[in-house]
Structure 1
Amino acid sequence: MKNNSKSFLKFATCCCFMVMTLNTYAQKPKNDKIIGYRMSRITGKMEFFNSNKEIVAAYPFSNITLDEHEVGFLAVGTSTKRGLMSDRGVMVVDTIYDFLAVVDKELALVFQGEKSGLIDFKGNIVVPIIYDNIDHFKANGRFTVEKDGKRGIVNRKGEFIEPLIPVHK
């Protein structure tokens, strides 16, 4: 009988220790947003860390723009392609664009070759990537688009407010 109680006590102690250890590792820090990055000397990857200096993600990027607009996304990429990563370290838009810049809280400007367009933060194309130039009017959510010597205005949904008309120089 004494042998069984000792075995039970060891088993119970072991289980409590395992549960405490698992809880410690399973809990995410309250503030796990990315606040910085550094190059790993071991892997050569960029390591993104939170305020506790814990690594949140590691990717082979060489080109990073931190969340300047405080919208929760970072423009990241290699020397040739750009994508979008959340401030929690999750890739939301693969590194497929020649250029990518966060425009505001909902959209990013992208280039493929010489053409530009707008995407949302899920990677959906909002304004087709067919324009020679896109300018942003921040106050009213409208964008001037230019294509083949013509200029027009589109809204945040990519709908024309003013159609493309020839530009007089």
Structure 2
Amino acid sequence: MDVIEKRYPYKPRLFSSIFVVLFFGVFAGFMGYFSYQNDSGLVLNGIVEMSTTGATVFYWLITVLFVAFSALGVLLAIKSVQSKAELVLTDEYVRAPKSGISKKIITVPFNDVEKVSVQAVKGTVFLNIFHRKGKFTIVSSVLPNMADFDEVKKHIMDRVRC
């Protein structure tokens, strides 16, 4: 008997990655300019007072943070274009990268599944699969669309015995 596989691309979405680059890049540019031009101190919530130098250092730290997030977006965009990662479903198991950017592939036989839960956080849905060797999470934002996520979720829920 042949094993029938359903395959879904499982990688970061290019549009989201580009949005991250642009969003944090704009703020990094703004904060960099603001840091460079700073000539006054800073009072945070009336509690923390900083001199001009302290405020400038604080602004530069925020700039670096925004640059780091923008760089992360670049890495996600590269991964989105280059990755050939897939989520594979059969009647016996689910196999996918440990995360949307990981190269490590996890295979979870449905017989090993002890519990399945669904969690939603700000529009992203997580399918948490607890199995004998640990936990594996399928994230809706790394599949092409929500319909594919719902299909994957239904397929798994129909086959687990918990």
Radius of gyration: which is bigger? Answer: 1
TM-score, length basis structure 1:
0.25
Between structures 1 and 2, the one with greater strand share:
1
Q: Which has the higher contact order (CA 8 A, sep 6+)?
A: 2
Between structures 1 and 2, the one with greater helix share:
2
